[in-house]
Amino acid sequence: MWSKILSKFEKHPAQEKVIKLLLERGFQVNDEGRVVSGGIEIPHTQVAGEIDVDRRVVDSTCEVILGDKTLASIFRNIHTIPFLKDVAPELGLQVLVITPGDASRTGILGNVASAVAHRGLSIRQAVTDDPYLAEHPQLTIITDNKIPGDLVDELMKMPGVKGVTIF
C-alpha cells in the first residue's frame, strides 16, 4: 500500500518528502488542506522547514492529497500514537529493540512476543517501523519488568533477527 502511495509522487521528490513526513508522524490533512494532528494545526512553513522544502511544496502536496479519493481517506484518518521508547526509563519500563535481517519477513513480531510472554513479561507496547518508510526498520517492545539475559540469547537465535538491544 505505501509503495502505491509513494509511487504517486515519484516524479515529485519534494512532495514525496512531504508525504513521508506526514506518514511517519501520523499527521492528517483536513478538508481545508491544512496539516493537523487531531485538532491542532501545524503551519505549512514548519512542516516545510523540517524537511527542507518550500512551503508551497507542502501546499501543493495537500492539494494533491485532497484531489485523490484514496489519499484523502488515508490522510483524513491516520493517527499518531504515543511512543514510550524514550520515556520508558522514567516510567520504570524496559525497552527491547529488535533489528531484523529482513523486516518484510513474516513471524518476527509473533515469535518475539511469544518468547517475551513465555518469560512472564507483560508487553506494554510493541511498535514496528514500516520497512517502506524507515531506512533501518526496527521492532521495539516495551515491557513492565527487567528483560533477562537468556531472553536476549533466545531472541538472537530466532530466524530473521539480526540484532537485539536493551535500553
Beta-carbon count within 10 A of 163 CB: 12
Q: What is the pTM of this model?
A: 0.82
- Cβ count within 10 A of residue 43: 12
pLDDT for 126 equals 97
pLDDT value for 5: 82
Sequence ranges of the domains in the chain:
2-77, 89-166
**CA angle centred on 19, ends 29 and 96, rounded to 5°:** 105
Q: Which pLDDT value is given to residue 105?
A: 87
Give the per-residue pLDDT at 10.
Answer: 87
Whether the CB-CB separation of 16 and 22 falls below 8 Å is answered with no
Output the pLDDT for position 148: 94
Residue length, the chain? Answer: 167
What separation, in Å, do the N-terminal and C-terminal C-alpha atoms of the chain show? 32
CATH superfamily membership of 89-166: ACT domain (3.30.70.260)
The answer to whether the beta carbons of residues 84 and 125 sit under 8 Å apart is yes
Per-residue pLDDT tens, the chain, 167 aa: give them: 677 787 889 899 999 999 999 998 999 999 999 999 999 999 999 999 999 999 999 999 999 999 999 999 999 999 989 999 999 999 999 999 999 998 888 999 999 999 999 999 999 999 999 887 788 999 999 999 999 999 999 999 999 999 999 98
pLDDT at 8: 86
